[in-house]
DNA sequence: CGGTGGATTGACCCAAATCAATTATAGTGG
DNA sequence: CCACTATAATTGATTTGGGTCAATCCACCG
């Protein structure tokens, strides 16, 4: 399942489900103790906007469980999703006072928040955090560039296949499996959110999902539960390289 | 002029035109001396491919002068530019052995290269470099996300206006001016490269450039020399926020 | 000069947007 | 338990922005 059963904050960092992938992954016991003093957990409900673009940011933090989206909006209302935040992903930018994007919870969420000021001070003092954050940011940059190819050059059908394969891949790496053969997962996004991510309309998303289903690339149970009988077939539909390509 | 007259390597870091913006910007004299031991300059000619996607990377480095592009290619030949590298921008990723994108010089270039291994070791030891690199990477991530909106939701006309305003802005920040009123610059890209950046065909680029010219948004002298009589008008054509929006 | 590569312009076509109507699906309260 | 909404999703008909194919045009250079 994509939505972890965890809906409450972990008892301590030792129990934290994201301790090995989050921004604090490299911290030693001392450093974790320091972080503990500036951190607090917050719960958000599905649909809730965590941060509005233009707001003052008073915290940064990690997604502990649940899923959020980063979205950019033009004055005339056109929107483009620019990020999908899964457990262990980092929210906010040290040193920046104002949020550039809307951050919206698509499921119930738990966040581990750090007060901005002390966190920034700690980043100056201990290299472990900024080193880890650098790694994570470089990964996000790669993902963003991958997404630029999707937005700029792929057909609607390829876009849908790309999104499905990305969700499938992220989902299975969370569970430490290699994505091959049959894969099953739940879509964390509505058709509308998928359209925002893909630079399409929701009608086109719906049509192409139906087409992929008709052609046997995917199977649907309800609107959200997806079975991919052959992951390689899906990758081929996405226009992605035969297999490899993926930089982890 | 966009192309700095500098075509040779600087004598020393003190003479370096990018010393205040590059990855080494925060380094003290000691650290610069350390870097000096692992660095070497390389010249590239316009059109030359610095790095092929899939190649082993044996160096990382900074653009000292000139302009390069980062490009992703699908097996069937569709290409998408995913980055524009200007002086002071960083090339390569510490810790990564294989290049994910083609890097191509669009003008003659000088690069300040660091041998990968010692550079990585130094990053572990001195926080100044990874802190600066983190800042730069976060800026690039913002730029990439800005670009996702352009690719996903803007019309061809807006895309052209967006590209022109980005080049104008970057160009004038290099010269420490505020972009207002009349702006003059040289396009560093061919129509074809612009199309690769914008997710368009070169014919559409040509048509929309002509349209913007016809409508008085820009003036052209030859194919490359651009005059923008009213920068705000250009921003409005780009669909960008009335003025602000820009996160520096 | 003719040639070559970049750029422009025109005619036509198609993939995805838009406009519009139905069809699930999930509550909610009588 | 069944109407009565409200929201998400599907499907159809039509339009359109940008792609494709093709014919010049232009500037520079040997």
Per-position DSSP letters for chain A, written without gaps between them: --S-S--S--SSGGG-TTTTTSTTTT--HHHHHHHHHHEEEEEE-TT-EEE-TTPBP-EEEEEEES-EEEEEE-TTS-EEEEEEE-TT-EES-TT--B--SEEEESS-EEEEEEEHHHHHHHHHH-HHHHHHHHHHHHHHHHHHHHHHHHHHH--HHHHHHHHHHHHHHHHHHHTT----S-EEEE--S-HHHHHHHHTS-HHHHHHHHHHHHHTTS-EEETTTEEEES-HHHHHHHTT--SS-----
Nearest to A72 among B83, B134, B149 (CB): B149
A123 contacts on B by Cβ (under 8 Å) = 131
Cα–Cα dist A7/A23, whole Å = 20
- What's the token pair of residue B98? 């294989």
Fold topology of A155-237: Arc Repressor Mutant, subunit A (1.10.10)
Whether the per-residue pLDDT at A63 is higher than 80: the answer is yes
* B147 Cβ contact list (under 8 Å, min separation 6): A148
Q: What is the pLDDT of residue A244?
A: 47
Among the listed residues B140, B125, B118, the one whose alpha carbon sits nearest the alpha carbon of residue B27: B125
| Closest chain B C-alpha to A57 CA, distance in angstroms | 14
In the 8-state DSSP scheme, what is residue B180?
A: -
CA torsion angle B201 B203 B205 B206 (round to 10): 160
Which of chain C's bases lie under 7 Å from a protein CB?
A: 6-11, 15-20, 25-26
In the 8-state DSSP scheme, what is residue B51?
A: E
Contact B145 A239 (CB under 8 A): no
CA A70 to C1' D10, whole Å: 27
Cα–Cα dist A33/A150, whole Å = 42
- pLDDT tens for A94-121 read 989 899 999 999 999 999 999 999 999 9
Cα–Cα dist B175/B166, whole Å = 14
* A176 Cβ contact list (under 8 Å, min separation 6): none
pLDDT band at A171, cuts 50/70/90?
A: confident
B204 contacts on A by Cβ (under 8 Å) = none
Phi and psi at residue A68, to the nearest 5°: -130, 165
Choose from A69, A125, A134 for mutation: most chain B CBs within 10 A.
A134
Query: How confident is the prediction for chain A on average, in pLDDT?
Result: 91
Q: What is the pLDDT of residue A180?
A: 67
Q: What is the pLDDT of residue A28?
A: 95
Phi and psi at residue A246, to the nearest 5°: -65, 120
Q: What is the pLDDT of residue A248?
A: 38
Whether residue A164 contacts residue A228, with contact meaning beta carbons closer than 8 Å, is answered with yes
Fold topology of B154-237: Arc Repressor Mutant, subunit A (1.10.10)
Phi and psi at residue B41, to the nearest 5°: -95, 145
Q: Tokens 């649940």 sit at which residue? A: A66
Among the listed residues A146, A141, A241, A152, the one whose alpha carbon sits nearest the alpha carbon of residue B196: A152
Whether residue A157 contacts residue A211, with contact meaning beta carbons closer than 8 Å, is answered with yes
Q: A122 vs A35, B47, B92, CA distance in Å?
A: 8, 45, 27
A13-147: CATH, from 1.10.3720.10, 3.40.50.720, 3.10.20.600, 2.60.120.10: 2.60.120.10
- Stretch among A35-44, A56-65, A166-175, B61-70 having the lowest mean pLDDT: A166-175
Cα nearest neighbour of B152 on chain A: A199
Residues A167-181 have a mean pLDDT of: 74
Q: Tokens 């309309």 sit at which residue? A: A201
* A59 Cβ contact list (under 8 Å, min separation 6): A92, A113, A114, A115, A116
H-helix or E-strand containing B31?
Answer: helix B29-38
Q: What is the pLDDT of residue A178?
A: 66
A interface residues, B as partner, C-beta within 8 Å: 70, 72, 74-76, 78-80, 82-83, 93, 95-96, 98, 100-101, 123-124, 127, 130-131, 133-135, 137-138, 140-142, 144-149, 151-153, 198-199, 239, 241-242, 247
Cα–Cα dist B199/B235, whole Å = 20
pLDDT band at A222, cuts 50/70/90?
A: confident
Beta strands in chain B (DSSP E): 39-44, 49-51, 59-65, 68-73, 79-85, 90-91, 102-105, 109-115, 183-186, 219-221, 225-228
Cα–Cα dist A76/B149, whole Å = 13
Q: What is the pLDDT of residue A137?
A: 97
- What's the token pair of residue B74? 């699908």
Whether the per-residue pLDDT at A68 is higher than 50: the answer is yes
Q: What is the pLDDT of residue B171?
A: 79
Where along chain A do its domains lie?
Answer: 13-147, 155-237
Q: What is the pLDDT of residue A2?
A: 38
Whether residue B136 contacts residue B248, with contact meaning beta carbons closer than 8 Å, is answered with no
Give me the residues of chain B with pLDDT under 50, please: 1-5, 244-248
Cα–Cα dist A147/A131, whole Å = 24
Q: What is the pLDDT of residue A8?
A: 77
In the 8-state DSSP scheme, what is residue B117?
A: H
Whether residue A188 contacts residue A194, with contact meaning beta carbons closer than 8 Å, is answered with no
Q: What is the pLDDT of residue B11?
A: 83
CA B118 to C1' C30, whole Å: 76
């Amino acid at each position: 399942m994509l939505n972890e059963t965890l809906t409450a904050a972990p008892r301590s960092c030792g129990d934290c489900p994201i301790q090995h992938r989050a921004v604090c992954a490299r911290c030693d016991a001392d450093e974790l103790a320091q972080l503990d003093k500036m951190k607090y957990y917050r719960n958000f409900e599905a649909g809730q906007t965590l941060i509005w673009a233009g707001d003052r940011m008073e915290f940064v933090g990690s997604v502990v469980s649940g899923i959020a989206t980063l979205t950019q909006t033009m004055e005339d209302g056109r929107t483009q999703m620019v990020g999908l935040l899964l457990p262990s992903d980092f929210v906010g930018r040290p040193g920046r006072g104002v949020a550039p994007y809307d951050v919206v919870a698509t499921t119930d969420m738990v966040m581990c928040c750090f007060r901005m000021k002390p966190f920034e001070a700690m980043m100056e003092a201990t290299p472990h955090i900024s080193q880890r954050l650098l790694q994570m940011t470089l990964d996000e940059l790669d993902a963003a560039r991958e997404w630029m190819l999707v937005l700029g050059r792929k057909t609607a059908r390829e876009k849908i296949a790309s999104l499905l394969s990305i969700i499938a891949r992220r989902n299975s790496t969370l569970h430490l499996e290699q994505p091959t053969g049959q894969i099953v997962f739940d879509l964390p996004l509505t058709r509308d959110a998928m359209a925002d991510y893909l630079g399409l309309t929701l009608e086109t998303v719906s049509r192409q999902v139906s087409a992929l289903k008709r052609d046997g690339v995917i199977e649907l149970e309800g609107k959200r539960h997806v079975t991919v009988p052959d992951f390689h077939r899906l990758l081929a539909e996405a226009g992605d390289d035969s297999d490899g390509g993926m930089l982890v």
